[in-house]
Amino acid sequence: MITRNHIATNGLDQIHFFGGGLELDENHWDNLGFYSISKFSHGHHARSGGGEDTFNFQNLNRVAHVVVGRIEDFDVSRDEIRIEGQLLDFNNLPSNVRIVEFNGAHNATTSDSQQWLLIATSAGGHIFYALGGARIDTDGDGGSSMGEHEHHFIPESRLPDFATLKDVAYVSPVNIVPKSATASDGLIINDVDVTRADVLTDILGSSGDDLIAAGLNDDFVFGGDGDDRIWGGSGNDTIFGNEGNDTLTGGTGADSFEGSVSEMLGDTITDFSTEDTIIFNNAALRADDLAVRDDRDILIGYDADSDGNISINEEIRLQGLFLDGEFLTAFHANSTYITYETCLPTLSEGRAVDHSMLNGINNQMYLLGDGAKAFQVSLLDTGRAGYDNVLGVYEITPDGALVDVQILFSNTNEQSSTVTLSGIENGNTLGFFVVQDGADWAATLSDTDILSFVNNTGEGATLDDGSTVRLAINGSAVTETIFHSYAASLNEDGMQHAVSGIQSGGGAIEFGFEDMTGLGDADYQDVVFSVEAHDYLL
């Protein structure tokens, strides 16, 4: 084993070290030391290569301020982290060590948080290191490598309040093919993106049984023929196992597992979550075409050969945590989308909904129109709200314009019925809105009045107009307070006023609105309704 010492000093000088590429299997013991850190400082950008490596933090008592850094290629199946020589047990952290979620200084709106190591020192300082590589900035305006990457070292201005960071259990994103995996007759691919062009290049397997780790960033992976093992790693990945009985792991992020029916059946997805989607290409499948059974794992089956039976090779095996939810299907552009959605939380007067459950619309794809699909919207009785609210709906075009505005229920306290929405233009999706205490206002409208949404210049509103969006009658903006389901950014207070979930037992998606500016009691039971599109629930 090769021992190397790297001493970080006070200030913004940086230490970068490299132990060779992932194909090199030399073992390194890298001491990450510190000397007299009395102000915000940059520490180490550590890369040890493909061996069984140790990252040992030492001289912590010399850190009296914040020092930031990054461990680029930590692989829990090979490597270890030590603090003053003591092995770090991720399942039993010392009292001065936390694993937290933080998105660094990455400015991509679709990016997910990374896991960070936060160590409090006896000198009153903190060591704050990302446990993952610097991600590619696809817009070219990142903080490092001439805009190609996010900041390798976060600037002091982007430091978070450590007390507010969410503690998480460490989960390896598997950005590298694990040590235990062996290839028989296929390729071993560890994808390393250096430039934006690398991210845009598809990762291609062979006709053999490949081992593919997509690593950081949002990747497209094609396994090819054979029984492949694919790890999406970090980012929002699109994974095509192609032919063969493949084992697919999405990793962190919102991942899509995509292919034809024949390609997907027989595959196993090891970490399917509420963020992920299965896409059957060129297949219009109804809910009753698919069968779901629980055999420790969840199996989704389809009688591909129409023999009246579903064999093991006609199932997709899903492993994950499936609690308090249902599977949901949606059809668009000649493809069938399957997701797992949690149920609407129990709503009751005056009891606040946990902030982590505030999701707006849980599945916007379900509300996508095709010109023929109809939706049934039904008010649900959860008790009388203090305000006499109005519930309305509009369509959102593919370019983000808010069009075809209409009122569904002019007083949600007095009405309990169902309205059918039809003729939603192909490619448009639905957004719902509440007019706060707007029943008296709605009563003044005539049948000839035309509703719309406008921005602060009086033009037709789009999603990009954010909180400047106003409801208008015959083109003139009104002063009523409006809350939207689609995005918190459309609301005047910038807060999320909608929560949604699949109806317990299946049958519809349910929504709850909070009608108080600033969220009030945040009980989200002031306007509650369901939306049902037939043949879309498993």
The tens digit of pLDDT for each residue in 455-473 reads 999 999 999 999 999 999 9
CA dist., res. 25 & res. 3, Å (int): 15
Most confident of 33-47, 105-119, 364-378, 490-504: 33-47
Tell me the C-alpha distance between 135 and 105, whole Å.
10
Question: In the predicted model, what is the mean pLDDT of residues 188-203?
Answer: 86
Residue 284 to residue 301: CA distance in whole angstroms: 15
Q: Helix, strand or coil for residue 364?
A: helix
The residue among 403 and 19 whose pLDDT is bigger is 403
CB 176 within 8 Å of CB 73: yes
Share of the chain above pLDDT 70, in %: 96
| Nearest Cα to Cα of residue 172 among 270, 275, 268, 26 | 270
Query: 311-347 b/e with 16+ CB inside 10 Å = b?
Result: eeebbbbbebebeebbbbbbbbeebbbbbbbbbbbeb
Position 179 scores a pLDDT of: 79
Q: Give the chain's count of helices (H) and strands (E).
A: 3, 38
Asked whether residue 303 carries a pLDDT value surpassing 90, the answer given is: no
Distance CA 52, CA 72 (A): 14
Q: Look over the chain and give the mean of its residue pLDDT values, rounded to a whole number.
A: 90
Read off the pLDDT of each residue in 171-193 and give the average, rounded to a whole number.
Answer: 85
Q: What mean pLDDT comes out for the span 470-477?
A: 96
Residue 484, H or E segment? strand 482-484
> What is the pLDDT averaged over residues 420-437?
95
- List of residues 6+ apart from 373 with CB closer than 8 A: 422, 424, 533
Q: Given this model, what pLDDT does residue 23 score?
A: 60
Q: What are phi and psi of 164, to 5 degrees?
A: -95, -10
Among 287, 178, 275, CA closest to 229: 178
Closest CA to 124 of 100, 96, 104, 99: 96
Task: Give the global pTM.
Answer: 0.79
**Token pair for 93:** 């952290």
pLDDT (mean) for 303-327: 86
Overall average pLDDT of the 143-160 stretch = 88
Q: Which amino acid is at 248?
A: L
Regarding predicted confidence, which is higher, 422 or 290? Answer: 422
Number of C-beta neighbours around residue 378 at 10 A: 17
Full strand arrangement of the beta sheet holding 97-102: 15-18, 41-47, 66-71, 126-130, 114-120, 97-102
pLDDT of residue 482: 97
Q: Which residue has the higher pLDDT, 340 or 385?
A: 340
Decide if pLDDT at 451 tops 60: yes
How would you classify residue 464: left for phi > 0, otherwise alpha for psi between -120 and 50, otherwise beta? alpha
376 pLDDT band, cuts 50/70/90, is: very high
pLDDT at 507: 66
Please give the pLDDT value at position 535.
52
State both tokens at 337. 């989308």
> For position 110, what pLDDT does the model report?
64
The three-point CA angle 285-287-291 to 5° equals 100
Q: What is the mean pLDDT of residues 511-529?
A: 93
Give 3-state DSSP helix, strand, coil % of the chain, rounded to 5.
10, 35, 55
Q: Which of 17-26, 186-195, 270-279, 353-362 has the lowest mean pLDDT?
A: 17-26
pLDDT of residue 105: 79
- Predicted local distance difference test score (pLDDT) of residue 108: 67
* Lowest-pLDDT range of 105-109, 288-292, 408-412, 456-460: 105-109
Which domains occur in the chain, in start order?
2-164 (no CATH), 188-322 (2.150.10.10), 355-532 (no CATH)
The predicted pLDDT at position 526 comes to: 92
**341 in Cβ contact with 328 (< 8 Å):** yes
Q: What pLDDT is attached to residue 212?
A: 96
Strand order from edge to edge, sheet including 203-204: 203-204, 220-222, 238-240, 256-259, 277-280, 335-342, 325-332
CA 352 to chain centroid: 24
